[in-house]
Structure 1
Amino acid sequence: MRFPASVLSCLMLAGIWSGSATAAETPVVVAAENTWGDLAAQVAEPDMHVTSILNAPTIDPHLYEPTPADARLVAQASLVVANGAGYDGWVDRLVQARRGPPVPVVKADGWTGWHEGDNAHLAYNLPAVAAFVSRFIAACQATDPQHAGAYEARGKTVMAAIQTVLDAMTTLRTQVQGQPVAATEPVFTPLADSLGLVMKEQAFQVAVMNDVEPPASSVAQFDADIRQHAVRFVAYNAQADRPSVQRLIAQAHAVGVPVLPVREIMPPDTHWQDWMHGILTQVAQVLGQPTP
């Protein structure tokens, strides 16, 4: 995915590649996805303004093509936040195309637990989320020292909210660990691993994530596991639709295997912690457990 040279040329001619906002303006934080933008806003606002490029839950971040408007946002940002891990590399290109001083970039893959080749869907990885918030607090304080205490206070509130999600996950794990589940793509896998669920159909998931049609053998195995009720539910990435996925979801509905829709982009007008609590509640419900 290459950012068009024509777009860069137009932006340079328009004179917008001038770096971050002036001191008289409220600093701007630009987030690649609203999952990270929401966490950033809970820490930074109202002392900084946070805007997210990807907000619609129907958009696949892997396939997104940035626009001149996106480039303008990044060019004027005082801070940039992103997932990283090869998930939203288009942000790196926008940052590199800026003029002026370098802009601080806080990525979720800056977590010490991340290793090359690990699952890139870090919004479902609670330790990665907590580490991101901690580093973002420090970045806000360095960018805007005048409000350092406010960033620290709001950051503590966000960290407490993350802990409530972790507590709910820990409670649910004691009730569901060891149960076999499946997914159409490894979006949900970090959370499934934390819950102690046994994730099946790995070959199918990797193929879909890499935007290739899964091999016939993995499709057949997935279909057999659904028909034989060898999995308790199927987590379905509603942002990565293809015929092989549609057929398996239809099969699951037909034989009464629960389907759990998950997304890479949060629904609008929600907070990350509420989104995660909602997913944990759905998992508990489909597995016949009390709400954590």
Structure 2
Amino acid sequence: MGMGLGKTKGILCPILLGIGAVFGFATMKVGYAAPHALSVVAAENTWGDLAAQIAEPDMHVSSILVSPAVDPHLYAPTPDDARRVADATLVVANGAGYDTWMDHLVQASALPQAHYVRADAWAGWHEGDNAHLWYDLNAVADFAQRFEKACEQADPAHAKAYAERARKLQADIASVQAQALALRPHVQGMAVAATEPLFTPLARYLGLDMKENDFQIAIMNDVEPPPIAVAAFEQDLAQRKLKLLAYNVQVEEPASKRLIDLAHKADIPILPLAEIMPQGTHWQIWISSTLTQIGHLLGVAQ
């Protein structure tokens, strides 16, 4: 998510479509475990939810960022955050330069590096790649596998339980992947765009043709988009060359708001996305409902 450029926080739009019954999982508890209990601290609730589905009830899982009103890039950790990390058995984060404040907390603690599980340790991610890894289905599957192993190493007594819960989660991830692969032939090659590169990992998985990349990279890097990129984006919307416009509901800034207004006028479908997962749901429901919404907006019956 880009920073600055006169941005203000928006209100998280509900995008769940009531398909929770498809999946089975435990509910993630949010709070602060007592010191010396086995615990996991996550930078963001998205990774915290995935961790909880494997670790709980044998480890208590809590997430630092749970509100869409907080920009993960700009978050300033509190002394309580530092204590939680110092007391944690395991710590999880997105990595990829997205939540470097957690790196600093871990470095200041005595936590072994093997107990710090970051999504960007996935072999498919390289320096400079897209940082929004919770929208990368393969990265999520890899994170779940590595986190399970970390749980087993930290708490061998419950290794069998961690493995069983991880198998259930991997089955749910596989169901989301299958849903995406079933949608892909119907949408592959369609021209889409976004106000920032939040949508890119999922769009790539679906075979969508992501346009307006210069504009998105500028927003991500907290600089004004080049005038030529703004003009091209506006022209493509006005001429209805794009089949879909995705935007980050947690951020409002003038350049993006104008594009959303133009998309409305051109009757181009608009997809709301978020960086912090809505509370009261789980990753697999959230992403599955997003895929369903993408199919609906692109005219694919599911």
Q: Same fold (TM over 0.5)?
A: yes
Amino acid paired to 1:129 = V
Q: Which residue is equivalent to 1:155?
A: 166
Q: Which residue is equivalent to 1:276?
A: 287
SS of structure 2 residue aligned to 1:182: strand
What displacement does 1:60 show?
2.1
Q: Which residue is equivalent to 1:250?
A: 261
Aligned counterparts of 1:225 and 1:290: Cα–Cα separation in 2: 26
Q: Which residue is equivalent to 2:270?
A: 259
The verdict on how the C-alpha distance between 1:162 and 1:96 changes in structure 2, with shifts beyond 3 A counting, is same
Aligned counterparts of 1:122 and 1:151: Cα–Cα separation in 2: 23
Q: Does 2:151 align with 1:125?
A: no
Aligned counterparts of 1:286 and 1:99: Cα–Cα separation in 2: 48
What's the TM-score, normalizing by structure 2?
0.86
What displacement does 1:214 show?
1.1
Say how many residue pairs are matched: 269
Aligned counterparts of 1:70 and 1:213: Cα–Cα separation in 2: 33
The verdict on how the C-alpha distance between 1:100 and 1:116 changes in structure 2, with shifts beyond 3 A counting, is closer
Cα deviation digits, residues 168-206 of structure 1 (max 9, x gap): 000000111000000011111001011000000000100
CA radius of gyration, larger in: 1
The structure showing larger relative contact order (alpha-carbon pairs under 8 Å, at least 6 residues apart) is 2
SS of structure 2 residue aligned to 1:62: coil
Tell me how large the CA RMSD over aligned residues is: 1.4
Identity, in percent, stands at: 57
Cα deviation digits, residues 202-231 of structure 1 (max 9, x gap): 001001111222121111111111111000
What displacement does 1:242 show?
1.0
Structure 1 stretches of at least 4 aligned residues deviating more than 3 Å after TM superposition: 99-103
Q: Does 2:180 align with 1:175?
A: no
Aligned counterparts of 1:172 and 1:59: Cα–Cα separation in 2: 32
Structure 2 residues without counterparts, runs of 5 or longer: 1-33
Does the CA-based 8 Å contact 2:114-2:150 persist in structure 1?
no
SS of structure 2 residue aligned to 1:61: coil
Q: Which residue is equivalent to 1:85?
A: 96
What displacement does 1:41 show?
0.2
What displacement does 1:239 show?
2.3
Amino acid paired to 2:297 = V
Q: Which residue is equivalent to 1:188?
A: 199
Q: Which residue is equivalent to 1:12?
A: none
Aligned counterparts of 1:64 and 1:209: Cα–Cα separation in 2: 16
Q: 1:39 aligns with which of 28, 50, 58?
A: 50
Q: Does 2:49 align with 1:64?
A: no
The verdict on how the C-alpha distance between 1:225 and 1:113 changes in structure 2, with shifts beyond 3 A counting, is same
Q: Does 2:161 align with 1:141?
A: no
Amino acid paired to 1:256 = D
